[in-house]
Chains A and B, each alone.
Chain A
Amino acid sequence: EVQLLESGGGLVQPGGSLRLSCAASGFTFSSYAMSWVRQAPGKGLEWVSAISGSGGSTYYADSVKGRFTISRDNSKNTLYLQMNSLRAEDTAVYYCAKATKSIAARQSFDYWGQGTLVTVSS
């Protein structure tokens, strides 16, 4: 059974940093691209970042480019999102999502974690 378990969310002040983790199990982690997708309170879904199965290719939404860094440790079956220079508009539930292939491009997301809430406020 595929499982994705996010952690690391919490309350942080504007300008602060946070690192999210997503522990994966039930599939060959290195064979699949992964993404982070967020959802602001009461709003829709916004794709944030993606990484290929090997970790060699990364992609970012314009809204987070230069502030967020996606990475993965295939030996630990874990996906990360380092978030710096956080803003109030980054407040959201952050989901990790599994792609259907190892490349990040042209992928839907067949499994999602339960999400972790990030609140940016003073």
Chain B
Amino acid sequence: EIVMTQSPATLSVSPGERATLSCRASQSVSSNLAWYQQKPGQAPRLLIYGASTRATGIPARFSGSGSGTEFTLTISSLQSEDFAVYYCQQYNNWPPRFGQGTKVEIK
């Protein structure tokens, strides 16, 4: 099974600043990588699929990059509504696996 490792576990950022989140796969997942945002008490929301394609309705400040084993989610200018937990997920191999999450908190 592929193991997904996210870093850092917690990221403290001021509103308006840039946030960079990392996700590493234990073996290549090609570009079959998604990013989700989850706020307390809510279901996850798809942000990015195919490593770099924004899902419907996702603001342009969210961008994804990478392929193979190394991936990045960048939030160009953090808004108040962006403080949440972010998960990456590989869907190249069974079973689909999520990373442990990165919490983006207000600095």
Q: A100-B49, A108-B49, A110-B55 are in contact. Are A45 and B91 (CB under 8 A)?
A: no
Q: How far is the CA of A44 from the CA of B23 in the complex (A)?
A: 14
Q: Are A107 and B45 in contact, with the CB atoms below 8 A?
A: no
Q: A45-B44, A115-B43 are in contact. Are A106 and B92 (CB under 8 A)?
A: yes
A67–chain B nearest beta-carbon distance, Å: 16
Q: Are B87 and A44 in contact, with the CB atoms below 8 A?
A: yes
Which residues of chain A come closer than 8 Å to B98, judged between CB atoms?
Answer: 44-47
Interface residue range, chain B: 20 to 34
Q: Are A47 and B95 in contact, with the CB atoms below 8 A?
A: yes
Asked if A59 lies at the interface with its beta carbon under 8 angstroms from chain B, I say yes
Q: How many A-B residue pairs have CB under 8 A?
A: 55
Q: Per DSSP, are chain B's interface residues mostly helix, strand or loop, or mixed?
A: loop
Q: Are A105 and B44 in contact, with the CB atoms below 8 A?
A: no
Using a CB–CB cutoff of 8 Å, the interface residues on chain B facing chain A are: 32, 34, 36, 38, 42-46, 49, 55-56, 87, 89, 91-92, 94-101
Q: How far is the CA of A35 from the CA of B95 in the complex (A)?
A: 12
Which residues of chain A come closer than 8 Å to B92, judged between CB atoms?
Answer: 106
B65–chain A nearest beta-carbon distance, Å: 16
Q: A108-B49, A108-B91 are in contact. Are A47 and B43 (CB under 8 A)?
A: no
Q: Are B91 and A114 in contact, with the CB atoms below 8 A?
A: no
A42–chain B nearest beta-carbon distance, Å: 11
Residue of B nearest to A6 (CB): B43
